[in-house]
Amino acid sequence: MSLIEDRPDSGFTLSKLFNDSRYRGYTFQVIAGIAIIALIAVLIMNATANLERLGKDISFGFLEQPAGYDIYPKLIPYTSQSTHLHAAFVGVMNTLLVAFLGCIAATFFGVVAGVLRLSNNWLLAKLMAVYVEVFRNVPVLLWILLIMQIVAISFANPLDFKGDEPAETLLWGMFAFTTLGIYTPAPVWNPGSGIVVGVFIASIIAMVFYAKYRRKVLFDTGRMLPGWPVMLALFFVPAILAHFVMGQPVGVDYPQMGFFKFEGGALIGGPLIALWLALSLYTGAFIAENVRAGILAISKGQTEAAAALGLRSNRIMSLVVLPQALRVIIPPVISQFLNLTKNSSLAAFIGYQEITGTLMGVTLNQTGRSFEAVLLGMLIYLTISLLISFGGNMYNSSVKLKER
């Protein structure tokens, strides 16, 4: 006979919400949820009451009013007579542009610097260490302002290109580096160019599938298929063939100096260049440390074993070390991508008009709708950040260690 007899369940009582471990956790979660909802409700009521006291109401009708200001750069059609909502979309596109370019460049700088910091070459390792320590220990705003000043000082005045013997000449007859930015050739889309673009996109998709197939063959059979030659052929050859088969529909418009400025081509503005370089170099310094930590997390014995099998250093890094290090590298790199995207809001200091400069800058000052403009700006940044996190987490799930 058991010394301790099982006591029958006496049923549910209110005391169990705090005394019974089966319900205690849910009880505190419900209380915390109610407290948070009550706090948000109080803040909203106070904000509404204060706005009413000032004779204001919460309204988003200002988004349909004419903006009355110009924006540069603009990736979608826009005029000063477009609405504030349209101006906000242009600002969002400019934010996405610098975030996309910055993430790509920061990843390149970070991976190169992180790998070279572990190099046996003393000079390269120290140079990368100096780059990392200098960039990550100085505020990014100062780097943005410094690079903007370097662009303004180093590049030539557009008028220097005028005349029979200009002080500066076009680089390769196509590029002009001026204080306004860099003038580059621009594509001209004639009828039939859409097919060429479609073939080019299909080529990129084919490259991705070939890379996966090449990796599968390597792991299944140990046979190494050609890499970069096939990749470059897929990247260039189909699009070039389609271009000539369709009668060369994609043209090129080269910049030419007019009376007071360049005409034709495309202008990559100085503020975009400065913001892109500053954010890329700054964020790349942090990514370099993530890469270095990921590589050091891999057992040295695996590197030695790969070397004993006769693999070259570059093969060891690409086939043995980095695939495993990605599981350590990717999570903090996602956070760095988020930081880069949010740091793009500092563009207002150098005149690059992204969402902070349009919706939360000029639009806010013109309409006086500070609460609505800031709230919309926060929601936009939140949406962009969540999308970046979602994409990064999906990629992280694809490379993480899968248990059998």
Q: What is the pLDDT of residues 223-244, one digit of tens each?
A: 878 888 888 888 888 989 988 8
The pLDDT tens digits for 21-42 are: 777 778 888 889 999 999 999 9
Reference 372, options 141, 95, 62, 1; nearest CA is: 62
Residue with tokens 């999570």: 331
- Nearest C-alpha neighbor of 72 from the set 276, 345, 271: 271
What residue spans of 222-321 are helical by DSSP H?
Answer: 228-245, 270-296, 300-308, 313-315
**Per-residue pLDDT band at 371 (split at 50, 70, 90):** confident
Question: Would you tell me the crossing angle of helices 270-296 and 122-136 to the nearest 10 degrees?
Answer: 120
Query: Is the pLDDT at 146 greater than 70, yes or no?
Result: yes
- Residue-level pLDDT at 165: 43
Q: Which residue reads 């030539």 in tokens?
A: 156
Residue 168: Cβ within 10 Å count: 14
Length of the chain: 404
Per-residue pLDDT tens for 96-109?
999 999 999 999 99
pLDDT tops 60 at residue 355:
yes
| Mean pLDDT of all residues in 257-276 | 82
Does residue 382 contact residue 103 with C-beta atoms inside 8 Å? no
The pLDDT, as a whole number, for residue 89 is: 93
Q: What is the pLDDT of residues 61-96, one digit of tens each?
A: 888 999 888 988 888 888 888 999 999 999 999 999
Q: What is the pLDDT of residue 10?
A: 57
Q: How many H-runs (helices) and E-runs (strands) does the chain carry? A: 14, 7
pLDDT, one tens digit per residue, over 114-134 is 989 988 889 999 999 999 999
Q: Is the pLDDT of residue 404 over 60?
A: no
Flag whether pLDDT at 344 surpasses 50. Answer: yes
pLDDT tens-digit map of 170-208: 666 778 887 788 888 888 888 888 898 999 999 999 998
The whole-chain average pLDDT of the chain stands at 85
pLDDT band at 310 (very low <50, low <70, confident <90, very high): confident
Which residue in the block uniquely carries the two structure tokens 């919309």? Answer: 376
Report pLDDT for 183. Answer: 84
240-263 mean pLDDT? 82
How far from 93 is each of 77, 335, 340, 385, CA to CA, in Å? 11, 21, 15, 14
Q: What is the pLDDT of residue 170?
A: 67
3-class DSSP assignment, residue 83: strand
| β-bridge pairing 250-253 and 262-263 | unpaired
Transcribe 128-194 into DSSP letters: HHHHHHHHHTS-HHHHHHHHHHHHHHHSBPGGGG-SSS-SS--BTTTBEEETTEEEE-EEEE-TTHH
Q: Report pLDDT for 167.
A: 42
Nearest to 377 by CA among 348, 357, 352: 357
Q: What DSSP designation does 343 have?
A: H
Look at 48-52, 118-122, 255-259 and tell me which has the smallest mean pLDDT. Answer: 255-259
Q: Dump pLDDT digits (tens) for 321-343.
A: 888 888 889 999 999 999 999 99
Residue-wise pLDDT for 9-26, tens only, equals 556 676 777 777 777 778
Give the model's pLDDT for residue 402: 63
Q: Is 56 a residue whose pLDDT tops 60?
A: yes
* Residue whose tokens read 């495309």: 266
| pLDDT confidence band for 218 (50 / 70 / 90) | confident
